[in-house]
Amino acid sequence: MATAHLRIGDLVWGKLGRYPPWPGKIVSPPKDLKKPRGKKCFFVKFFGTEDHAWIKVEQLKPYHPHKEEMIKINKGKRFQQAVDAVEEFLKKAKGKDQASHSSNSSEEKKLAADVKGRKNPGRPVKLIIDEDEDDLNSHRGVCLQKDKPGSSLEPISKRLKIIEEDTGSTSIQAADSTAINGSIIPTDKRIGFLGLGLMGSGIVSNLLKMGHVVTVWNRTAEKCDLFIQEGARLGRTPAEVVSMCDITFSCVSDPKAARDLVLGPSGVLQGIRPGKCYVEMSTVDPETITELAQVITSRGGRFLEAPVSGSQQLSNDGMLVILAAGDRTVYEDCSSCFQAMGKTSFFLGEAGNAAKMMLILNMVQGSFMATIAEGLTLAQATGQSQQTFLDILCQGQMASTFLDQKCQNILQGNFKPDYYLKHIQKDLRLAIAMGDSVNHPTPMAAAANEVYKRAKALDQSDNDMSAVYRAYIH
């Protein structure tokens, strides 16, 4: 790569880890931001995102000579928006000299100001970029957040870490500590994984890509074959996986499957020994989590729940949101695993809290999906264009990737599962029961649940949750 003459102000293509090259500009870093040790790199501001990162010189290419090449291999909407932002920048620039002298621009000063005073003035803030795992371990127990909470998910967005020291909150947010150059130092602990469904398959694939040693098991053994080819080891039973591994993750469909996996014949409990770690990633009710935590710890095991918010696509992309609760030391031991599978993670305190939070999140998402489907079908019934309805929604305050993708799939009749309809209905059912347990009304969720039950009766269980649409047209 022609990187020898790069300097501040130059436009470049920067590559982060396994993600595609992205257009950016070399700028001066904030004064209090040290360059990574032992690496020749530049500080790059990426176009079309709120991201900044130290990028190794070998991962940089000059913008203009490689523009045509990059545009050919990247076709995404957000990528095109980033390229458009570069072109708009070039129109305003008077030439390369002007660009190279803009390193102290107000936008960069704003970045430095943001780093020094993000969110709450007077609250101590640190920015960690491109530090190794040992450096990051020194920051355990602090609150970490993305650069711009609530912004649309970009492949690069998981790479910038703003760390705010915790002031006593019992719910501690902790984003992944992935190094800014995309590298992850895999744990030396042996990892087990039980359950290779829509979510588990993507998680295991990313664990393997990032260098973790993984032993897999699935009820349908054939699903293990692909991962064995990618370097995973095969466990014959859940008990064998747990006995062979230091940390074992489980991601299955529902409370019954989670209990059977632990308590059934050749189950997890038979392999638990003092010090063994078990991480339940399934979306289940808090009562199930409490039961599993008790039986695991009764054998001297260490327990963590870590359900994930996301879809099959986000699982494949390593961009899940992980909600963890239980043994804090297990959470810390899982750091590199969570980095591989997710874009951020939250530690929520005692076991059961993550299950409660996940059910609430999925209750909202499921109800929202049912409402979208209701709106699309009402538009059609009243002679309005469904596509125009979607276009209007996507230009307003409700615009989101979720909304756009689900509606487009509905209009195309594509209900390939990204999150099974039967699973979102299960989550609604569990959320309603949780509301009943604390005498809290959940009328919106109850109404949505009835629509999903009708969709299941129409044989939509194994389709995507967006197939709830079909409950309104039959």
The domain ranges of the chain are 10-91, 191-351, 357-471
Q: Around Cβ 58, how many Cβ atoms within 10 Å?
A: 12
Q: Which long-range contacts (CB under 8 A, 24 or more apart) does 136-140 make?
A: 136/177, 136/335, 137/332, 137/335, 139/163, 139/177, 140/332
Q: Which of 74-83, 152-161, 368-377 has the highest mean pLDDT?
A: 368-377
Read off the pLDDT of each residue in 159-164 and give the average, rounded to a whole number: 32
Q: In this predicted structure, what is the pLDDT of residue 190?
A: 97
pLDDT of 337 higher than 90 = yes
Give the residue carrying structure tokens 């009402």: 378
Task: Determine the pLDDT at residue 441.
Answer: 98
**Is the CATH number of domain 10-91 2.102.10.10?**
no
The CATH class given to the 191-351 domain equals alpha beta
Q: How large is the average pLDDT for residues 235-254?
A: 97
CA 430 to chain centre: 23
The pLDDT value recorded for residue 397 is: 93
Average pLDDT estimate for 399-426: 95
How far is the C-alpha of 214 from the C-alpha of 192, rounded, in Å? 5
357-471: in CATH 1.10.10.10? no
More confident residue, 29 or 255: 255
pLDDT of 340-392, one tens digit each? 999 999 999 999 999 999 999 999 999 999 999 999 999 999 999 999 999 99
CB burial readout 153-170, b (16+ within 10 A) else e: bbbbbbbbbbbbebeeee
Q: What is the pLDDT of residue 54?
A: 80
Amino acid (1-letter code) at residue 331:
Y
pLDDT digits (tens, 9 = 90+) for 393-402: 999 999 999 9
Flag whether pLDDT at 30 surpasses 60. yes
Q: Average of pLDDT values for 113-138? A: 39
| Mean of all residue pLDDT scores within the chain | 82
pLDDT tens per residue, range 438-460: 999 999 999 999 999 999 999 99
Q: How far apart are CA 466 and CA 366, in angstroms?
A: 9
pLDDT band at 126 (very low <50, low <70, confident <90, very high): very low
pLDDT in the model for residue 20 = 76
Q: Could you tell me which of 183, 74, 69, 162 has the C-alpha nearest to residue 120?
A: 162
Tell me how many degrees the CA angle 371-375-380 measures, rounded to the nearest 5.
Answer: 150
Which stretch of 136-150, 217-231, 336-350, 361-375 has the lowest confidence by average pLDDT?
Answer: 136-150
Distance between CA atoms of 130 and 35, rounded to whole angstroms? 9
Confidence of residue 143 (pLDDT cuts 50, 70, 90): very low
